[in-house]
Amino acid sequence: MLKNLFAMKVFFRRIHLYLGLASGLFLVMVCLTGSILVFEQELEHLWHPARYYVAPAGGPRLSLAQLTAAVRAAKPKAQLSSFKLYADPTRTVEVSLAGGGPKGGGKGEGSGEGGGRNAAQRGEGRGATAGEGPRGGQGRGEGRAESRGAMAGSAEARGPGGPAGKGGPGGKGGKGGPRLFLNPYTGAIVGELKPQDSFFHFIEQLHRGLVAGRVGKLIMGINGIIFLFILGTGIVLWWPAARKALTARLTVKWGSSWKRLNHDFHIVLGFYTSVFLFIMALTGVGMSFDWVGKTINTVTHSPQQRPEPPTSTVPAEKGPAFGADAALAAARQQAPGALTYAVQLPKEPTGSLQVSSLRPGALTERATDDVYFDRYSGQVLRQTTYAQQPLGQRIRGLFKPVHTGAIFGWPTKVLAFVIVLLGATFPISGTILWLNRTRKSKKKSAPRGLAVEVG
Protein backbone atom coordinates (compact mmCIF):
# COMPACT_ATOMS: atom_id res chain seq x y z
CA MET A 1 0.00 0.00 0.00
CA LEU A 2 2.72 2.45 0.99
CA LYS A 3 4.64 1.49 -2.11
CA ASN A 4 1.64 2.33 -4.29
CA LEU A 5 1.18 5.69 -2.57
CA PHE A 6 4.84 6.49 -3.06
CA ALA A 7 4.66 5.57 -6.74
CA MET A 8 1.55 7.72 -7.16
CA LYS A 9 3.24 10.69 -5.53
CA VAL A 10 6.27 10.27 -7.79
CA PHE A 11 3.91 10.26 -10.77
CA PHE A 12 2.20 13.48 -9.67
CA ARG A 13 5.56 15.09 -8.89
CA ARG A 14 6.73 14.44 -12.44
CA ILE A 15 3.55 15.86 -13.92
CA HIS A 16 3.84 18.92 -11.68
CA LEU A 17 7.50 19.36 -12.60
CA TYR A 18 7.26 18.88 -16.34
CA LEU A 19 4.17 21.05 -16.74
CA GLY A 20 5.76 23.72 -14.55
CA LEU A 21 8.99 23.74 -16.57
CA ALA A 22 7.05 23.85 -19.85
CA SER A 23 4.77 26.74 -18.89
CA GLY A 24 6.81 28.56 -16.24
CA LEU A 25 7.73 31.58 -18.35
CA PHE A 26 4.13 31.96 -19.51
CA LEU A 27 2.88 31.81 -15.95
CA VAL A 28 5.31 34.47 -14.76
CA MET A 29 4.30 36.76 -17.62
CA VAL A 30 0.58 36.18 -17.06
CA CYS A 31 0.83 36.92 -13.34
CA LEU A 32 2.94 40.05 -13.77
CA THR A 33 0.69 41.52 -16.47
CA GLY A 34 -2.35 40.49 -14.47
CA SER A 35 -1.08 42.40 -11.44
CA ILE A 36 -1.00 45.55 -13.58
CA LEU A 37 -4.51 45.02 -14.90
CA VAL A 38 -5.97 44.60 -11.41
CA PHE A 39 -5.73 48.35 -10.83
CA GLU A 40 -6.20 49.44 -14.42
CA GLN A 41 -9.12 51.73 -13.71
CA GLU A 42 -7.44 53.34 -10.72
CA LEU A 43 -4.19 53.88 -12.62
CA GLU A 44 -6.06 55.34 -15.59
CA HIS A 45 -7.73 57.89 -13.33
CA LEU A 46 -4.46 58.64 -11.56
CA TRP A 47 -2.54 59.24 -14.77
CA HIS A 48 -5.29 61.17 -16.58
CA PRO A 49 -7.43 62.94 -13.96
CA ALA A 50 -8.50 65.71 -16.36
CA ARG A 51 -10.00 63.08 -18.64
CA TYR A 52 -12.32 61.66 -16.00
CA TYR A 53 -13.02 64.50 -13.54
CA VAL A 54 -14.20 68.11 -13.70
CA ALA A 55 -15.01 70.76 -11.14
CA PRO A 56 -18.81 70.71 -10.75
CA ALA A 57 -20.40 73.95 -11.88
CA GLY A 58 -23.31 75.64 -10.22
CA GLY A 59 -25.61 75.32 -13.19
CA PRO A 60 -27.45 72.27 -14.57
CA ARG A 61 -25.81 69.66 -16.73
CA LEU A 62 -26.24 69.87 -20.47
CA SER A 63 -28.72 67.62 -22.23
CA LEU A 64 -27.63 64.81 -24.50
CA ALA A 65 -28.80 66.87 -27.49
CA GLN A 66 -26.52 69.72 -26.43
CA LEU A 67 -23.61 67.34 -25.86
CA THR A 68 -24.25 65.84 -29.30
CA ALA A 69 -24.11 69.30 -30.85
CA ALA A 70 -20.83 69.99 -29.04
CA VAL A 71 -19.32 66.78 -30.43
CA ARG A 72 -20.50 67.51 -33.95
CA ALA A 73 -19.10 71.04 -33.75
CA ALA A 74 -15.67 69.62 -32.94
CA LYS A 75 -15.97 66.53 -35.15
CA PRO A 76 -18.50 67.12 -37.94
CA LYS A 77 -18.14 63.62 -39.39
CA ALA A 78 -18.38 61.79 -36.08
CA GLN A 79 -21.06 59.15 -35.71
CA LEU A 80 -22.13 58.87 -32.08
CA SER A 81 -22.71 55.37 -30.74
CA SER A 82 -23.44 55.74 -27.03
CA PHE A 83 -23.30 57.93 -23.93
CA LYS A 84 -22.31 57.01 -20.40
CA LEU A 85 -23.34 59.35 -17.62
CA TYR A 86 -22.45 59.21 -13.92
CA ALA A 87 -24.45 60.30 -10.91
CA ASP A 88 -21.19 61.67 -9.50
CA PRO A 89 -21.26 65.41 -10.35
CA THR A 90 -17.46 65.47 -10.76
CA ARG A 91 -17.36 62.83 -13.51
CA THR A 92 -17.19 63.59 -17.21
CA VAL A 93 -19.66 62.23 -19.74
CA GLU A 94 -18.18 59.49 -21.92
CA VAL A 95 -19.20 59.41 -25.56
CA SER A 96 -18.33 56.48 -27.81
CA LEU A 97 -18.00 57.07 -31.51
CA ALA A 98 -18.78 54.39 -34.06
CA GLY A 99 -15.73 52.58 -35.38
CA GLY A 100 -14.91 50.64 -38.51
CA GLY A 101 -17.29 47.75 -38.03
CA PRO A 102 -19.85 46.67 -40.62
CA LYS A 103 -22.67 49.03 -41.30
CA GLY A 104 -26.15 48.48 -40.08
CA GLY A 105 -25.32 47.61 -36.51
CA GLY A 106 -25.52 43.89 -37.17
CA LYS A 107 -22.18 43.16 -35.56
CA GLY A 108 -20.88 46.08 -33.92
CA GLU A 109 -19.57 49.46 -34.78
CA GLY A 110 -18.44 49.56 -31.23
CA SER A 111 -21.42 47.89 -29.63
CA GLY A 112 -19.66 44.62 -29.17
CA GLU A 113 -22.93 42.79 -28.71
CA GLY A 114 -24.28 42.81 -32.20
CA GLY A 115 -27.65 44.19 -33.21
CA GLY A 116 -27.02 47.48 -31.49
CA ARG A 117 -27.08 46.07 -27.99
CA ASN A 118 -25.47 48.19 -25.36
CA ALA A 119 -22.35 46.47 -24.12
CA ALA A 120 -21.18 49.37 -22.09
CA GLN A 121 -21.92 47.52 -18.92
CA ARG A 122 -22.00 43.92 -20.06
CA GLY A 123 -18.96 43.81 -22.24
CA GLU A 124 -19.56 40.24 -23.24
CA GLY A 125 -17.86 39.57 -26.51
CA ARG A 126 -18.30 37.08 -29.29
CA GLY A 127 -21.89 37.85 -29.88
CA ALA A 128 -23.99 36.28 -27.24
CA THR A 129 -22.63 32.87 -26.66
CA ALA A 130 -19.26 33.31 -25.01
CA GLY A 131 -20.03 36.22 -22.79
CA GLU A 132 -16.57 36.22 -21.47
CA GLY A 133 -14.90 39.07 -20.07
CA PRO A 134 -11.92 40.85 -21.57
CA ARG A 135 -10.87 42.15 -25.06
CA GLY A 136 -10.12 40.04 -27.98
CA GLY A 137 -13.39 38.35 -28.46
CA GLN A 138 -14.05 37.28 -25.00
CA GLY A 139 -16.08 39.88 -23.54
CA ARG A 140 -14.06 42.50 -22.04
CA GLY A 141 -16.66 43.21 -19.84
CA GLU A 142 -16.71 46.37 -18.21
CA GLY A 143 -16.93 48.57 -21.05
CA ARG A 144 -13.88 48.01 -23.09
CA ALA A 145 -14.54 46.68 -26.39
CA GLU A 146 -13.98 43.35 -25.00
CA SER A 147 -11.12 41.78 -24.01
CA ARG A 148 -9.42 43.65 -21.71
CA GLY A 149 -10.90 40.41 -19.88
CA ALA A 150 -9.47 38.67 -17.07
CA MET A 151 -7.48 38.94 -15.34
CA ALA A 152 -8.74 41.28 -17.39
CA GLY A 153 -10.82 45.55 -17.94
CA SER A 154 -12.59 48.37 -16.77
CA ALA A 155 -15.69 49.85 -18.03
CA GLU A 156 -14.33 53.27 -17.69
CA ALA A 157 -11.05 52.57 -19.32
CA ARG A 158 -12.59 51.12 -22.39
CA GLY A 159 -15.78 52.93 -22.62
CA PRO A 160 -19.39 52.51 -23.41
CA GLY A 161 -18.59 50.92 -26.70
CA GLY A 162 -18.40 47.56 -25.03
CA PRO A 163 -16.30 44.56 -25.80
CA ALA A 164 -14.69 43.46 -28.75
CA GLY A 165 -16.98 40.67 -29.49
CA LYS A 166 -17.73 40.64 -33.14
CA GLY A 167 -17.82 44.35 -33.40
CA GLY A 168 -15.34 45.68 -30.91
CA PRO A 169 -11.62 45.71 -31.09
CA GLY A 170 -10.17 42.36 -31.58
CA GLY A 171 -13.39 40.93 -32.92
CA LYS A 172 -14.49 40.13 -36.42
CA GLY A 173 -16.28 43.35 -37.08
CA GLY A 174 -13.41 45.77 -37.00
CA LYS A 175 -12.03 48.18 -34.42
CA GLY A 176 -14.24 50.28 -32.20
CA GLY A 177 -14.10 54.03 -32.48
CA PRO A 178 -12.53 56.50 -30.07
CA ARG A 179 -14.10 57.68 -26.84
CA LEU A 180 -14.56 61.32 -26.02
CA PHE A 181 -14.78 62.79 -22.52
CA LEU A 182 -16.98 65.85 -22.21
CA ASN A 183 -17.48 68.38 -19.44
CA PRO A 184 -21.17 67.82 -18.60
CA TYR A 185 -21.62 71.52 -17.73
CA THR A 186 -19.91 73.21 -20.69
CA GLY A 187 -19.80 70.54 -23.39
CA ALA A 188 -16.04 71.01 -23.80
CA ILE A 189 -14.13 67.91 -24.93
CA VAL A 190 -11.54 67.41 -22.19
CA GLY A 191 -10.05 64.15 -23.44
CA GLU A 192 -10.03 61.55 -26.18
CA LEU A 193 -9.01 57.93 -25.97
CA LYS A 194 -8.47 55.30 -28.61
CA PRO A 195 -8.62 52.07 -26.58
CA GLN A 196 -6.54 50.14 -29.11
CA ASP A 197 -3.63 52.56 -28.63
CA SER A 198 -3.64 52.57 -24.83
CA PHE A 199 -0.98 51.06 -22.60
CA PHE A 200 -3.48 48.83 -20.85
CA HIS A 201 -4.79 47.49 -24.15
CA PHE A 202 -1.28 46.29 -24.96
CA ILE A 203 -0.85 44.78 -21.50
CA GLU A 204 -4.14 42.97 -21.81
CA GLN A 205 -3.32 41.69 -25.28
CA LEU A 206 -0.05 40.39 -23.86
CA HIS A 207 -1.86 38.87 -20.89
CA ARG A 208 -4.56 37.20 -22.94
CA GLY A 209 -2.76 36.25 -26.12
CA LEU A 210 0.89 37.31 -26.30
CA VAL A 211 -0.13 40.03 -28.76
CA ALA A 212 -0.41 37.22 -31.31
CA GLY A 213 -4.09 37.25 -32.23
CA ARG A 214 -6.19 34.13 -32.09
CA VAL A 215 -3.20 31.82 -32.08
CA GLY A 216 -1.83 33.57 -29.02
CA LYS A 217 -5.21 33.42 -27.28
CA LEU A 218 -5.38 29.70 -27.96
CA ILE A 219 -1.88 29.22 -26.54
CA MET A 220 -2.74 31.17 -23.41
CA GLY A 221 -6.03 29.34 -23.03
CA ILE A 222 -4.22 26.01 -23.15
CA ASN A 223 -1.67 27.41 -20.72
CA GLY A 224 -4.52 28.22 -18.36
CA ILE A 225 -5.68 24.59 -18.48
CA ILE A 226 -2.11 23.45 -17.79
CA PHE A 227 -2.00 25.79 -14.80
CA LEU A 228 -5.11 24.10 -13.40
CA PHE A 229 -3.30 20.74 -13.56
CA ILE A 230 -0.22 22.25 -11.92
CA LEU A 231 -2.32 23.56 -9.05
CA GLY A 232 -4.17 20.27 -8.67
CA THR A 233 -1.03 18.17 -8.58
CA GLY A 234 0.56 20.71 -6.25
CA ILE A 235 -2.18 20.15 -3.68
CA VAL A 236 -1.67 16.37 -3.94
CA LEU A 237 2.07 16.79 -3.37
CA TRP A 238 1.51 19.22 -0.51
CA TRP A 239 -0.81 16.88 1.37
CA PRO A 240 1.20 15.56 4.36
CA ALA A 241 1.58 11.84 4.86
CA ALA A 242 1.26 12.22 8.64
CA ARG A 243 -0.38 14.73 10.97
CA LYS A 244 2.90 15.70 12.57
CA ALA A 245 4.09 16.95 9.19
CA LEU A 246 1.08 19.29 8.82
CA THR A 247 2.62 22.11 10.83
CA ALA A 248 5.72 22.13 8.66
CA ARG A 249 3.50 22.42 5.57
CA LEU A 250 1.63 25.41 7.01
CA THR A 251 4.44 27.59 8.36
CA VAL A 252 7.49 29.27 6.89
CA LYS A 253 10.68 28.68 8.88
CA TRP A 254 12.01 32.21 8.98
CA GLY A 255 15.70 32.51 9.72
CA SER A 256 16.55 29.29 7.92
CA SER A 257 18.95 28.95 5.00
CA TRP A 258 17.92 30.41 1.67
CA LYS A 259 17.29 26.91 0.32
CA ARG A 260 14.88 26.16 3.14
CA LEU A 261 13.15 29.52 2.71
CA ASN A 262 12.79 28.89 -1.02
CA HIS A 263 11.30 25.49 -0.21
CA ASP A 264 8.82 26.98 2.27
CA PHE A 265 7.84 29.84 -0.01
CA HIS A 266 6.98 27.39 -2.75
CA ILE A 267 5.25 24.79 -0.59
CA VAL A 268 3.60 26.86 2.15
CA LEU A 269 2.68 30.01 0.25
CA GLY A 270 1.72 27.85 -2.71
CA PHE A 271 -0.85 26.10 -0.54
CA TYR A 272 -2.34 29.33 0.84
CA THR A 273 -2.72 30.86 -2.62
CA SER A 274 -3.73 27.71 -4.50
CA VAL A 275 -7.50 28.14 -4.10
CA PHE A 276 -7.41 31.77 -5.29
CA LEU A 277 -5.08 30.96 -8.18
CA PHE A 278 -7.31 28.04 -9.16
CA ILE A 279 -10.34 30.35 -9.31
CA MET A 280 -8.40 32.90 -11.37
CA ALA A 281 -7.14 30.24 -13.76
CA LEU A 282 -10.60 28.71 -14.07
CA THR A 283 -12.27 32.02 -14.92
CA GLY A 284 -9.40 32.79 -17.30
CA VAL A 285 -10.05 29.55 -19.16
CA GLY A 286 -13.74 30.42 -19.19
CA MET A 287 -12.97 33.70 -20.92
CA SER A 288 -10.68 32.01 -23.45
CA PHE A 289 -12.95 29.34 -24.89
CA ASP A 290 -16.48 29.65 -26.25
CA TRP A 291 -17.30 26.08 -25.30
CA VAL A 292 -17.16 27.04 -21.63
CA GLY A 293 -19.95 29.56 -22.06
CA LYS A 294 -21.98 27.13 -24.14
CA THR A 295 -21.56 24.43 -21.52
CA ILE A 296 -22.72 26.79 -18.78
CA ASN A 297 -25.75 27.73 -20.84
CA THR A 298 -26.58 24.07 -21.38
CA VAL A 299 -26.19 23.13 -17.70
CA THR A 300 -28.26 26.12 -16.52
CA HIS A 301 -30.86 25.67 -19.29
CA SER A 302 -30.10 29.16 -20.55
CA PRO A 303 -30.42 30.21 -24.20
CA GLN A 304 -27.25 29.89 -26.26
CA GLN A 305 -27.92 33.18 -28.02
CA ARG A 306 -28.94 36.52 -26.63
CA PRO A 307 -32.33 37.68 -27.87
CA GLU A 308 -32.13 40.24 -30.62
CA PRO A 309 -32.97 43.78 -29.50
CA PRO A 310 -36.54 44.84 -30.24
CA THR A 311 -37.19 47.01 -33.27
CA SER A 312 -38.93 50.35 -33.62
CA THR A 313 -41.94 50.80 -35.86
CA VAL A 314 -41.23 53.40 -38.51
CA PRO A 315 -44.30 55.69 -38.75
CA ALA A 316 -45.92 56.39 -42.10
CA GLU A 317 -45.66 60.12 -41.53
CA LYS A 318 -42.68 61.81 -40.02
CA GLY A 319 -43.20 63.42 -36.66
CA PRO A 320 -41.24 64.35 -33.56
CA ALA A 321 -38.98 61.48 -32.61
CA PHE A 322 -38.48 60.10 -29.11
CA GLY A 323 -34.90 61.16 -28.53
CA ALA A 324 -32.08 60.06 -26.27
CA ASP A 325 -32.93 62.69 -23.65
CA ALA A 326 -36.48 61.43 -23.38
CA ALA A 327 -35.25 57.84 -23.04
CA LEU A 328 -32.76 58.88 -20.36
CA ALA A 329 -35.44 60.79 -18.45
CA ALA A 330 -37.76 57.76 -18.55
CA ALA A 331 -34.96 55.48 -17.32
CA ARG A 332 -34.17 57.91 -14.49
CA GLN A 333 -37.77 57.78 -13.35
CA GLN A 334 -37.56 54.00 -13.12
CA ALA A 335 -34.10 53.98 -11.45
CA PRO A 336 -33.67 57.44 -9.90
CA GLY A 337 -30.70 56.46 -7.75
CA ALA A 338 -28.61 54.67 -10.38
CA LEU A 339 -24.86 55.18 -10.32
CA THR A 340 -24.52 55.25 -14.10
CA TYR A 341 -26.74 55.38 -17.16
CA ALA A 342 -25.50 54.07 -20.50
CA VAL A 343 -27.53 55.17 -23.52
CA GLN A 344 -27.05 53.15 -26.70
CA LEU A 345 -28.16 54.98 -29.82
CA PRO A 346 -29.90 53.12 -32.67
CA LYS A 347 -27.88 52.55 -35.79
CA GLU A 348 -30.77 51.86 -38.16
CA PRO A 349 -34.18 53.47 -38.71
CA THR A 350 -35.78 50.42 -37.10
CA GLY A 351 -33.33 50.31 -34.21
CA SER A 352 -34.40 50.91 -30.62
CA LEU A 353 -33.00 53.15 -27.90
CA GLN A 354 -31.47 51.21 -25.03
CA VAL A 355 -30.69 52.57 -21.58
CA SER A 356 -28.77 50.48 -19.03
CA SER A 357 -28.91 51.57 -15.39
CA LEU A 358 -26.44 50.44 -12.75
CA ARG A 359 -28.09 50.52 -9.34
CA PRO A 360 -26.21 51.09 -6.06
CA GLY A 361 -24.94 47.88 -4.52
CA ALA A 362 -24.82 46.08 -7.87
CA LEU A 363 -22.58 43.02 -7.75
CA THR A 364 -20.60 44.03 -10.83
CA GLU A 365 -20.60 46.77 -13.45
CA ARG A 366 -22.39 44.34 -15.73
CA ALA A 367 -25.31 43.94 -13.36
CA THR A 368 -27.49 46.49 -15.14
CA ASP A 369 -31.20 46.89 -15.65
CA ASP A 370 -31.96 47.38 -19.34
CA VAL A 371 -34.91 49.04 -21.02
CA TYR A 372 -35.55 49.43 -24.76
CA PHE A 373 -37.66 52.26 -26.19
CA ASP A 374 -39.26 52.70 -29.59
CA ARG A 375 -37.25 55.55 -31.07
CA TYR A 376 -40.38 57.16 -32.54
CA SER A 377 -43.23 56.59 -30.10
CA GLY A 378 -41.28 56.16 -26.87
CA GLN A 379 -43.10 52.93 -26.11
CA VAL A 380 -41.24 50.53 -23.83
CA LEU A 381 -40.45 47.57 -26.07
CA ARG A 382 -38.62 45.45 -23.51
CA GLN A 383 -37.55 45.85 -19.91
CA THR A 384 -35.19 43.45 -18.17
CA THR A 385 -33.69 43.68 -14.71
CA TYR A 386 -30.39 42.02 -13.91
CA ALA A 387 -32.18 39.36 -11.85
CA GLN A 388 -34.32 38.48 -14.88
CA GLN A 389 -31.36 37.79 -17.11
CA PRO A 390 -30.66 34.09 -17.86
CA LEU A 391 -28.62 32.38 -15.16
CA GLY A 392 -25.93 31.34 -17.64
CA GLN A 393 -25.47 34.94 -18.74
CA ARG A 394 -25.14 36.12 -15.14
CA ILE A 395 -22.62 33.41 -14.32
CA ARG A 396 -20.49 34.27 -17.32
CA GLY A 397 -20.75 37.93 -16.39
CA LEU A 398 -18.98 37.14 -13.12
CA PHE A 399 -15.91 35.67 -14.82
CA LYS A 400 -14.11 38.94 -15.37
CA PRO A 401 -14.75 40.68 -12.02
CA VAL A 402 -13.83 37.46 -10.20
CA HIS A 403 -10.76 37.01 -12.38
CA THR A 404 -9.53 40.55 -11.75
CA GLY A 405 -10.59 40.75 -8.11
CA ALA A 406 -13.05 43.57 -8.81
CA ILE A 407 -16.01 41.54 -7.54
CA PHE A 408 -16.10 43.19 -4.07
CA GLY A 409 -14.10 46.33 -4.69
CA TRP A 410 -10.83 47.33 -3.04
CA PRO A 411 -10.50 44.40 -0.60
CA THR A 412 -10.64 41.75 -3.32
CA LYS A 413 -8.52 43.84 -5.67
CA VAL A 414 -5.73 44.06 -3.10
CA LEU A 415 -6.07 40.33 -2.45
CA ALA A 416 -5.90 39.55 -6.18
CA PHE A 417 -2.84 41.79 -6.56
CA VAL A 418 -0.97 39.99 -3.77
CA ILE A 419 -2.02 36.56 -5.03
CA VAL A 420 -0.86 37.10 -8.62
CA LEU A 421 2.45 38.58 -7.49
CA LEU A 422 3.04 35.49 -5.38
CA GLY A 423 1.92 33.38 -8.34
CA ALA A 424 4.70 34.92 -10.43
CA THR A 425 7.28 33.64 -7.92
CA PHE A 426 6.18 29.99 -7.85
CA PRO A 427 7.63 28.95 -11.26
CA ILE A 428 10.93 30.53 -10.16
CA SER A 429 11.02 29.00 -6.67
CA GLY A 430 9.87 25.66 -8.10
CA THR A 431 12.68 25.64 -10.65
CA ILE A 432 15.23 26.45 -7.93
CA LEU A 433 13.76 23.70 -5.77
CA TRP A 434 14.11 21.20 -8.63
CA LEU A 435 17.71 22.26 -9.35
CA ASN A 436 18.66 21.90 -5.69
CA ARG A 437 17.16 18.42 -5.53
CA THR A 438 18.85 17.42 -8.77
CA ARG A 439 22.27 18.49 -7.51
CA LYS A 440 21.67 16.75 -4.20
CA SER A 441 20.69 13.48 -5.86
CA LYS A 442 23.73 13.63 -8.15
CA LYS A 443 26.02 13.98 -5.16
CA LYS A 444 24.42 11.01 -3.46
CA SER A 445 24.64 8.81 -6.55
CA ALA A 446 28.28 9.73 -7.38
CA PRO A 447 30.62 6.69 -6.81
CA ARG A 448 32.99 7.07 -3.92
CA GLY A 449 36.75 6.92 -4.57
CA LEU A 450 38.52 3.58 -3.86
CA ALA A 451 40.98 3.54 -0.98
CA VAL A 452 44.44 2.19 -1.92
CA GLU A 453 46.72 0.80 0.72
CA VAL A 454 50.41 1.23 0.23
CA GLY A 455 52.35 -1.52 1.96
Radius of gyration of the chain (CA): 26
Helix spans in 289-409 (H): 290-299, 324-334, 391-397, 399-404
Report the pLDDT averaged over residues 333-349.
Answer: 95
The tens digit of pLDDT for each residue in 219-263 reads 999 999 999 999 999 999 998 876 777 888 899 989 889 999 999
The pLDDT-based confidence of 116 (bands split at 50, 70, 90) is very low
Asked if pLDDT for residue 369 goes beyond 70, the answer is yes
Contact 414, 4 (CB under 8 A): no
DSSP code string of 370-402: EEEEETTT--EEEEE-GGGS-HHHHHHHTHHHH
Percent of the chain exceeding pLDDT 70 equals 79
Mean pLDDT of the chain: 82
Nearest CA to 138 out of 287, 242, 330, 32 is that of 287
| pLDDT for residue 226 | 96
Q: What tens digit of pLDDT does each residue of 36-86 get? A: 999 999 999 999 999 999 998 778 999 999 999 999 999 999 999 999 999
Contact between 166 and 173 under an 8 Å Cβ cutoff? The reply is yes
162 Ramachandran zone, left/alpha/beta (phi>0; psi -120 to 50)? left
Over residues 266-286, the pLDDT tens digits come to 999 999 999 999 999 999 999
Residue 212 has pLDDT above 60, yes or no: yes
Segment 137-196, tens digit of pLDDT: 333 333 333 333 333 333 343 333 333 333 333 333 345 789 999 999 999 999 999 988
Q: What whole-number distance in Å separates Cα of residue 339 and Cα of residue 368?
A: 10
